[in-house]
Structure 1
Amino acid sequence: MMELQEAKKEVMLGGLHEKIKQVYGCGDEDCETIAQRYADAMDCFASLYGTDRDISIFSAPGRTEIGGNHTDHQHGHVLAAAVNLDTIAVAARSSSSLIRVKSQGYPEDVIDLTDLAVREEEKNTSRALIRGVAARFVRMGYPINGFDAYTTSQVKSGSGLSSSAAFEVLIGTILNALFCDGKESMMQIAQAGQYAENVYFGKPSGLMDQAASSIGGFVSMDFGDIKKPKAKQVVFDLNSYGYVLCIIDTHASHADLTPDYAAIPAEMHQVAAYFDKDVLREVPEPLFYQNIPQVREAVGDRPVLRAMHFYADDRRAQAEASALRRGYFEKFKRLIRESGNSSFMYLQNIYSASSWDKQAVSVTLGLIDHFASHLPEKDALAWRVHGGGFAGTVQAFVPQKYIESFVTAMDAWLGEGSCRVLRVRPAGGTQML
């Protein structure tokens, strides 16, 4: 920790530039902008909580799902990655039992560590996430005390980059640094975030989002043992292959789509239950195909199709990670396209069957296909639905030499600012200072 004014001077004089480049995977040209953002956050902290404080700076990234669409809740494999958009915090210990967090654009959240019980009235709020992460660290046996923090985020709600996971990992990273001597693993921090989201926030999410944000880089995950999931960073430099990652906003709302999202795991569970198992990971694929007529009769056709997607995309997520490790980028792109086709044909999470006239994701995928078909190089692009589906965003891997024309085309078709060019961030949740 460092006294606030001294810390600001250190940041503005370039003292964090090397660490910024390592964490964000950026060049010298971005360091000043990021340092200024830290300095502005310190000014906001000072105006709220005083200048005479010893502070630390923390960062947690948003994430993108690369492979394994709706495979995690069936205890399968996923390939994800952290991105260079993040949520940052300036934080300082306090002498009280209160955690006070003021996020830019939102009211201050205050929780008392003497009362960490789940509160129904806090469901779906950031206060619930803070209380839940703190409760998890207390359950792990750490002497958590109060702190004050100011946060600001580039990971906007609804962007498809998991703003909630970035916030949860940020809080966990702060607690780990201030009160645990940094002893907890990145996976434990991720699990604390998932616990907060499931139990306190009230959303039955998997662990993929939090693990990708906490670990950083490309991350290959195996949820076979849900209590002890495996995650391993995959070292791969997308830039060195002449590609960038784009996230395209389809401008479709997630409102009223809860039944569609809930139906996917529910129908996969129906197939597993036919074999007296809880999840599809426990049902051998050959056994599933040997019993197709009986399963169709028992649960219907869409659950069968969604199970077919699970088995294929579970293998693809592993093959994608292997392809990146070996530098087989053309194979990786082919697998991404296959995953996208499977999501459309088998998983059927591209549009809601109850709103067939609203197909923003379908249209966006079609527009990317149209753009790609007019390029001189066959299969130059790779693209697929991003995240849960039905609305939200689409992901594309685009050659750098075509990025200007790609962004121009997407923005012309879908609206200015629809296409965002991102980097894969090498580091996850990090104490910057």
Structure 2
Amino acid sequence: MRVTEIIEKIKEGAYKNTFSMLYPQKTYEESAERYISILNKYMDSYGDGEVSLFSAPGRTELSGNHTDHNHGKVLAAAVDLDIVAVAGERDDNKILLRSAGYDSENVVNVDKLDPSKAIRGSSAALIEGIADYFKQNGYKIGGFNAYSESKVATGSGLSSSAAFEVVVGGIMSGLFNDGSVTPYELAVAGKYAENEYFGKPCGLMDQMASAVGGVVAIDFDESENGKAHIEKLDVDFTAHGYSLVIVNAGGSHADLTPEYASIPAEMKSVAKYFGKDALRYVNKDEFYKSISLLRKKVGDRAVLRAIHFFDENERVDSQREALKKGDIEAYFEGVEGSGNSSEYNLQNIYPCCSVSERSISLALTMAKKYGAKVVRVHGGGFAGTVQAYVPVTEKKDFIEKMENVFGKGCCFDLSIRPCGLFAVNA
């Protein structure tokens, strides 16, 4: 369908069911205005033509803080903030992609894919990496024009990079492979691109949650068949009377890379003591019997972080079962336990090198004072965001009070999105 034809269909109300599913907190008019703007921006750059629309959601981590990189277990969910991209095929093998808010155009030649020549930390590197993964795994690739616009703000803790990776993979799947690439493969392609081309040693949770959608329980034990196990759950927190609110505490992520890197490194130092490459494959009983020796070998913090890993895996299992039974109070017990373990054992609430940076600590304290049922650090930690479950009846007051402390727009009132990557006009 051509750009102008899609615009007319949107104006006619043809996407009411789609938009209400993707954006339950928005009116049709609000979503229509956004999509028409994106389509017009595409047309400004690349003209009218046959195009497809794709949406990939941001994600929120519900439990399993810092476990994926050691093949642990996580609970995560897709949310109703997303990246939308419109894309059309080109006759050559070049990919041209513009993004709202950025002046430069990403240009990639799919005939020249080489991780050693990638511009580390760039969007172009992610595009190149995904194309390379597709090529290596027998999928078709080609050139296309694209324009994207994201509501998953950078620094929001909702994984804007994973949403971008998934939507780029979705474009390649939709345009050149009849949409046949599975959500699992889209997630792995994103991780490959981020690891090998972008230069960031991420796990797989963010991409998996974005690609699959809904609430997902993911077990990253790949020892049996080389793949993580995924269970999709049907969860609606508002049906239990609670809103899921992410609060950006505004702390700086500058120079925190060593802090983030220390967590998987220290966990793996414990695993190495037992001759394993990840904590998942260490016997928990043997670990506890060896703590006295481990303290001398790897240090107390590494031991505490390993304790967090073992406890958090068990917590994910109990929370998963609680959600399946609809036992929200048992689930909230796990949320509180996860938050406490992150603070006392994992120790990712504030950076050890700064005596003044306590934004996460302040956000946790104020969220509790202002009515959150439970609250925990969200994502990587040290700075950034916290996750609060707030009674629906108190949400407005909670957000106003938190904004008085952390600034206008610091709160993201989220809904769980039931689907992952979505071909909007398929």
Instruction: Give the TM-score normalised by the residue count of structure 1.
Output: 0.95
Q: Which residue of 2 aligns with 1:257?
A: 256
Q: 2:149 aligns to what SS in structure 1?
A: strand
The separation in 1 between residues aligned to 2:35 and 2:408, in whole angstroms, is: 28
Please name the residue that 2:54 is paired with: 58
1:77 paired to 2:98: no
AA paired with 2:78? A
Q: 2 CA distance for matches of 1:9 and 1:291?
A: 68
Match of 1:323 in 2: 322
The alpha-carbon deviation at position 299 of structure 1 amounts to 1.2
Asked whether the 8 Å contact 1:102–1:149 carries over to 2, the reply is yes
Distance 2:292 2:85 in 1: 55
Give the Cα separation in 1 of the matches to 2:341 and 2:140: 48
Displacement of 1:422: 1.1
Matches within 5 A, 1:144-159: 144-159=141-156
| Counterpart Cα distance in 1 of 2:334 and 2:270 | 25
Residue of 34, 41, 46 corresponding to 2:43? 46
Partner of 1:181: 178
Match of 1:405 among 377, 385, 397: 397
Instruction: Note the 1:357-396 alignment, pairs <5 A.
Output: 357-372=356-371, 381-396=373-388
- The aligned counterpart of 2:207 is 210
**Following the alignment from structure 1 to structure 2, what is the Cα–Cα distance between the partners of residues 32 and 243?**
26
Which residue does the alignment assign to 1:338?
Answer: 337
| CA offsets 1:35-61 (integer angstroms, 9 cap, x no match) | 22111111111110012x011111001
Could you tell me which residue of structure 2 aligns to residue 127 of structure 1?
124
Unaligned runs of 5+ in 1: 373-379
**1:140 aligned to 2:137?**
yes
> Per-residue deviation at 1:298?
1.4
Report the AA paired with residue 398 of structure 1: V
Q: Tell me the distance in 2 between the aligned counterparts of 1:105 and 1:381.
A: 36
Q: Residue deviations 1:190-209, cap 9 Å, x none?
A: 10000000000000100000
> What value does the CA root-mean-square deviation take over the aligned residues?
1.2
Q: SS in structure 2 opposite 1:426?
A: coil
1:270 maps to: 269
The one-letter code matched in structure 2 to 1:23 is: L
1:252-275 CA distance string (max 9 Å, x none): 011111111111111111111111
1:91 maps to which residue?
Answer: 87
Q: Is the 8 A contact 2:118 2:197 kept in 1?
A: no
Match of 2:414? 422
- Moved beyond 3 Å, runs of 4+: none
SS in 2 for 1:182: coil
* Alpha-carbon shift at residue 119 of structure 1 (Å): 4.2
Amino acid at match of 1:149: A
CA distance in 1, matches of 2:207, 2:370: 33
For the residue of structure 1 that corresponds to 2:54, the secondary structure is: strand
Task: Note the C-alpha offset of 1:63.
Answer: 0.6
Partner residue, 2:247: 248
Structure 1 vs Structure 2: percent identity of aligned residues? 45
The Cα offsets for residues 78-97 of structure 1, whole Å up to 9 and x where unpaired, read as: 00011111000111111111
Letter in 2 for 1:102: R
1:212-227 to 2 correspondence within 5 Å?
Answer: 212-225=209-222, 227=226
Give 1:117's aligned residue.
114
Q: Which residue of 2 aligns with 1:31?
A: 28
Identify which range, 280-289 or 384-393, moves more after superposition. 280-289
SS in 2 for 1:406: helix
- Once residues 224 and 237 of structure 1 are traced to their aligned partners in structure 2, the CA distance between those partners, rounded to angstroms, is 27
TM-score norm. by structure 2 comes to 0.97
The answer as to 2:16 corresponding to 1:17 is yes
Name the SS of the counterpart of 1:420 in structure 2: strand
Distance apart, 1:413 and its partner CA: 1.8
Q: Distance in 1 between matches of 2:356 and 2:142?
A: 52
CA-to-aligned-CA distance 1:80-134 (integer Å, 9 cap, x gap): 0111110001111111111110111221101111111124451100000001111
Give the distance between the partners of 1:339 and 1:30, measured in 2 at CA: 35
Asked if the contact 2:89/2:144 (under 8 Å) is kept, the reply is yes
Contact 1:309 1:343 in 2 (8 A): yes
- TM-aligned CA deviation for residue 30 of structure 1: 2.1
- C-alpha contact (below 8 Å) 1:86/1:166 kept by paired residues: yes
Q: Which residue of 1 aligns with 2:289?
A: 290
Instruction: Describe the SS at the equivalent of 1:122.
Output: coil
Q: The residue matched to 1:353 in structure 2 has which SS?
A: coil
Unaligned runs of 5+ in 2: none
Counterpart CA distance in 2 for 1:258 and 1:419 is 25
Shift, 1:31, TM fit: 2.1
Task: Report the more deviating stretch, 4-13 or 381-390.
Answer: 4-13
Asked if the contact 1:12/1:36 (under 8 Å) is kept, the reply is: no
AA aligned to 2:106 is D
Q: What is the rounded CA distance, in whole Å, between the counterparts of 2:132 and 2:208 in structure 1? A: 19
Q: Distance in 1 between matches of 2:149 and 2:265?
A: 36
Tell me the CA shift for residue 243 of structure 1. Answer: 1.2
Contact 2:118 2:125 in 1 (8 A): no
Amino acid at match of 1:412: N
Deviation at 1:242, TM superposition (A): 1.4
